[in-house]
Amino acid sequence: MNQNKILLVDGMALLFRAFYATAMSNYYMINSKGVPTNAVYGFVKHLFMATKNYGPSHVVCCWDMGSTTFRNEIFPQYKANRGEPPVELIPQFDLVKEVVEALDIPNVGLAGYEADDCIGTLSNEYSEHSEVIILTGDQDILQLLQDNVTVSLLKKGYGNYAEYQHDNFIEEKGITPMQMIDLKALMGDSSDNYPGVKGIGEKTALKLLTEYETIEGILDNLPNLTKGQRTKIENELDMLHLSRKLAAIHCEVDVNCSLDDAIFEINQERMMEKFNELEFKRLDSLLS
């Protein structure tokens, strides 16, 4: 029997990428009911191109469930630099889940956690017995790389990916996937709005992790650091530890999805009924 191949989809990453691909030129695909559908249409296109490319036996789609998570509770400024979503995107958040449901693909999410956390939890569970491919545009998910887990990062256009396995990640980055957490803890993440250690950039953080492997290793060797490095880290110890909690994908979320529910078998009639309702054309041809 062939091993299962499970595609875990970062729904929000695909939806946002699809939205901005046309929104930048003010094209929102507003249908006859006055509903913008450009993000949902592009999402489905990304999804179908990936299923055609990878041929998964199972597909699961994971979502953020609201803008507030446990990370905001421990650091209120987390992602506070992000504005409200455009009005044209807001109705598409629920609409895209309706489409995913019409494709008989499970929607998975849990309030208080991000899609990344759900993906990490399911990836750890599934990879014990199956091949897992994570489809996303978010490099943070690279920390989940391990045996049996591939991360496929969306590149410009459709059907273009940067694929990472555990070994080629180490070759390219010079650190292990798990060290990405400590890397972000040291250098911070401007897109997620936490600072890490002020004055420590990527180059220095990589150098320290290459030499001392972990934050604990760095702290155990503070006397061996330059005076500047030591001072910066000592002044920001609390933020360093907090940033690591923010950077780490939480892989013990209370979500589950039976593989029986995730078998990738689209009911063509149900799919076309939804596509016709939304006035989507030519999308089904991507499956053939």
Residue 168 identity (one-letter amino acid): N
CATH H-level superfamily of 179-247: 5' to 3' exonuclease, C-terminal subdomain (1.10.150.20)
Q: Tell me the β-bridge partners of 10.
A: 62
Fill in the DSSP letter of residue 3.
Answer: P
CA distance 164 to 197: 28
CB 145 within 8 A of CB 129: no
Q: Hey, is 271 helix, strand or coil?
A: helix
CA distance 126 to 148: 9
Q: What are the CA-CA distances from residue 29 to residues 23, 38, 117, 180 (Å)?
A: 9, 5, 32, 38
Number of Cβ within 10 Å of residue 48's Cβ equals: 20
* Tens-binned pLDDT, residue by residue, of the chain (288 aa): 468 999 999 999 999 999 999 998 999 999 999 999 999 999 999 999 999 999 999 999 999 998 899 999 999 999 999 888 999 999 999 999 999 999 999 999 999 999 999 999 999 999 999 999 999 999 999 999 999 999 999 999 899 999 999 999 999 999 999 999 999 999 999 999 999 999 999 999 999 999 999 999 999 999 999 999 999 999 999 999 999 999 999 999 999 999 999 999 999 999 999 999 999 988 878 776
| Residue corresponding to tokens 């899609």 | 115
Pick the CATH number of 5-173+249-281 from 3.40.50.1010, 3.40.190.10, 3.40.1000.10, 3.30.465.10: 3.40.50.1010
- What are the residue ranges spanned by the domains of the chain? 5-173+249-281, 179-247
**In which region does residue 213 sit, left (phi positive, over 0), alpha (psi from -120 to 50) or beta (all else)?**
left
Name the pTM for this structure.
0.95
| Residue corresponding to tokens 């091949």 | 131
Residue 279, judged by CB atoms within 10 A of its CB (0-12, 13-18, 19+), counts as middle
E-only strand ranges, 99-210: 107-108, 131-136, 149-154, 161-164
Q: What element of type H or E holds 42?
A: helix 38-54
